[in-house]
């Protein structure tokens, strides 16, 4: 810790330029301390912690023997408190898909089930394609937020994709994945939210 001498705010000669007042100094302690920001109190007076990215992939599910043209919803099983996906406070999302058949798969972001509320709204339109106005797009027309109609996936490995910002803060999030690979496939899915 270092002690500096500075002018007392109301010393007799504090306003004089270039002169040092007699007894016009006070000791001011200067201490550097680390600060760790973990959250804030919001406008409602509630403590809100800062989000951190998921450490591992979450909401793992395996759907078996999905026929060509068949679809799954993911995540679709209760996995702690993260089903359906809640992106509140998260910017990006990684989705990992492991099929047993190489080929094309359609992947679309959809609204989750009507058995859960979207904030305080219930029922919602379940399995409907999410629409909105993403950044840097035409502000006069709603568009699909994420709809990939033909993504080539490799069999028996995790195909990992990053979806940046378009699903930011989306509550009640699910994905519809359609098997267009030309044959039957098991499909494993898992997700990682990125703050």
- 96 — pLDDT class (breaks 50, 70, 90): very high
What ranges make up the beta strands (E) of the chain? Answer: 2-7, 25-30, 39-41, 47-49, 58-66, 71-74, 92-99, 103-111, 131-132, 143-144, 147-153, 159-164, 173-180, 185-194
* pLDDT of 156 strictly over 90: yes
Q: What band does 20 get if pLDDT is binned at 50, 70 and 90?
A: low
Of 27, 25, 45, 47, the C-alpha closest to 37 is 47
Predicted pLDDT at 9: 58
How far is residue 85 from each of residues 63, 136, 193, measured CA to CA in Å? 18, 25, 9
Mean pLDDT of the region 122-132: 94
Which domains, from first to last, does the chain contain?
A: 2-33 (no CATH), 51-194 (2.60.120.510)
Q: Can you give the pLDDT at residue 71? A: 96
Per-residue pLDDT tens digits for 35-57: 777 787 888 888 888 788 999 99
pTM for the structure as a whole? 0.76
Average pLDDT over residues 81-101: 90
Contact 130, 167 (CB under 8 A): yes
């Amino acid at each position: 810790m270092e002690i500096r001498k500075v002018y007392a705010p109301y010393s007799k000669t504090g306003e004089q330029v270039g002169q040092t007042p007699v007894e016009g100094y006070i000791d001011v302690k200067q201490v550097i301390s680390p600060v760790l920001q973990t959250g804030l109190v919001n406008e409602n007076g509630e403590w809100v912690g800062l989000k951190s990215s998921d450490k591992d992939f979450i909401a793992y599910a395996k759907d078996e023997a999905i026929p060509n043209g068949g679809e799954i919803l993911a995540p679709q099983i209760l996995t702690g408190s993260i089903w359906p996906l809640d992106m509140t406070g998260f910017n990006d999302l990684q989705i990992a898909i492991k099929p047993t058949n190489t080929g094309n798969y359609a992947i679309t972001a959809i609204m989750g089930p009507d058995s859960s509320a979207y904030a305080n709204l219930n029922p919602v339109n379940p399995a409907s394609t999410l629409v909105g106005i993403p950044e840097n797009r035409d502000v006069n027309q709603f568009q699909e937020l994420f709809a990939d109609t033909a993504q080539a996936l490799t069999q028996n490995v995790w195909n990992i994709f990053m979806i940046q910002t378009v699903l930011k803060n989306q509550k009640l999030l699910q994905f519809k994945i359609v098997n267009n690979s030309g044959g039957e496939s098991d499909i494993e899915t898992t997700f990682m939210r990125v703050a």
